[in-house]
């Protein structure tokens, strides 16, 4: 199996630049745990993939290697180059172009799922803490997850068990007893009602959250999603309207938390201990250490990374800590609580998991992966609109839940549309199995459409 690795995951025989001037010449002395596990399983690592600098971006335009062009071949007459999504756009594009069978990415707020949706491939963000982050260059420690991209869900189901193991070197890795308890809860609350080996969905309850169809979403993105829901109902699934009321606050909370953690994590790159050193000009005052490394940081970090470091540093300041950082953490708890209220499977990480009747709750949630199809590559990477691309992906990240983006068809412009399957923490097996059925449904629809043409 040919595997590509995102450029923020350490490999000892290939550079790990994080697409940043700060690490342009860096090669790690060790492999990340996930890379070692792939080697042990016989995978062939074919190369590293471009990404937004340090994983910060939604369009894969913030990179010293240049932007990633979406390889999707649209039937439209419009040949304007489009974004592959970010920050794992290089991984999604490599899979979509057939350059590899599998690619690893990282997902902090949608960086695997958004590119998967834009490029018409499958992308999994696992439950937080299941896949080791040891050897992954940190952006936001409480949000970062190693993700998997492939052309079909079955390949992810084959690769995921290889990487899904406890790692004592990663302090955020979830211990085996907790994983086993989550698996038991899944069997009791869902697999007792629905046969996971069946191709039908009788007994499965799918939640459709009203907040995930905002006014900003393209109508042509909604059409194939609605058609999919009708087909899933035909397979026996019960579709249940659900509400996740804190969703509207999730994006703001995410950017406060992620930026704050980034400002802390990236403080190590001074050009002295770590990172490319750029000497200050001869007339510079070198009596303070901060002035010695300020020049390296100003030249080593790109504009987007500098922006997030500054925002995060402010959020952690005495003047802003209560009103911004602590408030964002409160919102994060509300987002988690919203999900716990609708899922039939209790959250094993909760101190008091809900034991309410699962009859009125849902097994998975489904919603569009993105509010639009892939935007043009030159649509303005400095625009606030780029941050809105993550609207539908950040809630699952804040809650640490498994989320899978699966191709659901194409929009009116001929570009791919993704649908996300989200489950309770630890229900990755369920999410992948439902994703397989969803992909089989959409593939069958596409083949019928091709034959009728």
Question: What does the pLDDT read at residue 358?
Answer: 60
Question: What does the pLDDT read at residue 366?
Answer: 99
Structure tokens at 306: 């500098």
Residues 215/374, Cβ–Cβ less than 8 Å:
no
Question: What does the pLDDT read at residue 351?
Answer: 60
Question: Is position 127 annotated as part of the catalytic site?
Answer: no
Select which of 19, 28, 83, 87 is catalytic. Answer: 87
Q: Choose among 147, 155, 165: nearest CA to 9.
A: 147
Question: What does the pLDDT read at residue 380?
Answer: 55
Q: Choose among 130, 110, 4: nearest CA to 57.
A: 110
Question: What does the pLDDT read at residue 197?
Answer: 83
Question: Is position 452 annotated as part of the catalytic site?
Answer: no
- Buried b vs exposed e over 191-204: b needs ≥16 C-beta within 10 Å? beebeeeeeebebb
Backbone region of residue 341 per phi and psi (left: phi > 0; alpha: psi in -120 to 50; beta: other values): alpha
User: What ranges make up the beta strands (E) of 126-270?
Assistant: 145-150, 205-209, 238-242
Select which of 6, 48, 125, 361 is catalytic. Answer: 6
Question: What does the pLDDT read at residue 435?
Answer: 98
Which domains, ranges and CATH numbers included, belong to the chain? 2-240+365-452 (3.90.1300.10)
pLDDT along the chain (453 residues), means of 10: 98 98 97 99 98 97 97 77 97 98 99 98 99 99 99 98 98 98 96 87 96 95 97 97 97 98 97 89 78 89 97 98 98 98 95 59 98 86 76 98 98 96 98 97 69 50
Question: Is position 111 annotated as part of the catalytic site?
Answer: yes
User: What ranges make up the beta strands (E) of 26-162?
Assistant: 44-49, 102-107, 122-125, 145-150
Backbone angles phi, psi at 164, to 5 degrees: -85, 85
Question: What does the pLDDT read at residue 292?
Answer: 80
Residues 69/375, Cβ–Cβ less than 8 Å:
no
Residue 325: CA atoms inside 13 Å, Cβ hemisphere, count? 18
Residue 109: CA atoms inside 13 Å, Cβ hemisphere, count? 26
Type and span of the H or E element at 291: helix 289-300
Quickly count: other Cβ atoms within 10 Å of residue 65's Cβ. Answer: 17
Question: What does the pLDDT read at residue 196?
Answer: 85
Select which of 19, 91, 111, 358 is catalytic. Answer: 111
Q: How far apart are CA 188 and CA 183, in angstroms?
A: 9
HEC readout, 366-425: EEECCCCCCCECCCCCCCCHHHHCCCCCHHHHHHCCCEEEEEEEECCCCCEEEEEEEECC
């Amino acid at each position: 199996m040919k595997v590509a690795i995102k450029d923020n995951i350490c490999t000892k025989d290939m550079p790990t630049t994080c697409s940043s001037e700060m690490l342009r010449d860096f090669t790690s002395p060790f492999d990340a745990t996930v890379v070692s596990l792939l080697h042990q399983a016989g995978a062939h690592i074919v190369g590293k993939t471009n990404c937004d600098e340090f994983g910060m971006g939604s369009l894969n335009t913030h990179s010293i290697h240049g932007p990633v062009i979406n390889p999707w071949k649209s039937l439209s007459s419009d040949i304007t180059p489009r974004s592959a999504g970010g920050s794992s756009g290089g991984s999604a594009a490599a899979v979509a172009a057939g350059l590899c069978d599998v690619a690893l990415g990282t997902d902090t707020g949608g960086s695997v799922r958004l590119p998967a949706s834009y490029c018409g491939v499958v992308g999994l963000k696992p439950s937080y803490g299941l896949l080791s982050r040891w050897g992954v260059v940190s952006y936001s420690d409480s949000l970062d997850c190693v993700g998997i991209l492939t052309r079909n869900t079955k390949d992810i189901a084959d690769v995921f068990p290889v990487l899904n193991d406890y790692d004592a070197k990663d302090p955020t890795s979830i211990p085996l007893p907790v994983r086993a308890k989550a698996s038991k809860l899944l069997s009791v609350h869902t697999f007792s009602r629905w046969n996971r080996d069946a191709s039908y969905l009788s007994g499965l309850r799918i939640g459709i959250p009203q907040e995930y169809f905002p006014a900003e979403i393209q109508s042509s993105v909604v059409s194939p999603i609605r058609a999919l829901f009708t087909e899933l109902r035909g397979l026996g699934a019960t579709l249940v309207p659900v509400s996740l009321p804190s969703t509207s606050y999730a994006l703001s909370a995410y950017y406060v938390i992620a930026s704050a953690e980034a400002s802390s994590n990236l403080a190590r790159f001074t050009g002295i201990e770590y990172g490319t050193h750029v000497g200050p000009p001869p007339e510079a005052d070198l009596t303070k250490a901060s002035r010695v490394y300020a020049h390296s940081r100003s030249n080593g970090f790109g504009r987007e990374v500098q922006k997030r470091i500054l925002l995060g540093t402010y959020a952690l300041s005495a003047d802003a800590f209560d009103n911004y950082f602590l408030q964002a953490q409160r919102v994060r708890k509300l987002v988690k609580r919203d999900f716990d209220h609708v899922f039939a499977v209790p959250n094993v990480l909760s101190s008091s998991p809900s034991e309410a009747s699962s009859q009125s709750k849902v097994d998975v949630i489904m919603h569009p992966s993105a509010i639009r199809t892939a935007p043009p590559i030159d649509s303005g990477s400095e625009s606030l609109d780029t941050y809105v691309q993550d609207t539908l992906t950040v809630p699952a990240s804040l809650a640490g839940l498994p989320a899978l983006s699966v191709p659901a068809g194409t929009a009116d412009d001929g570009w791919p549309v993704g649908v996300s399957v989200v489950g309770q923490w630890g229900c990755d097996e369920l999410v992948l199995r439902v994703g397989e059925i969803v992909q089989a449904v959409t593939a069958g629809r596409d083949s019928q459409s091709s034959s009728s043409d």
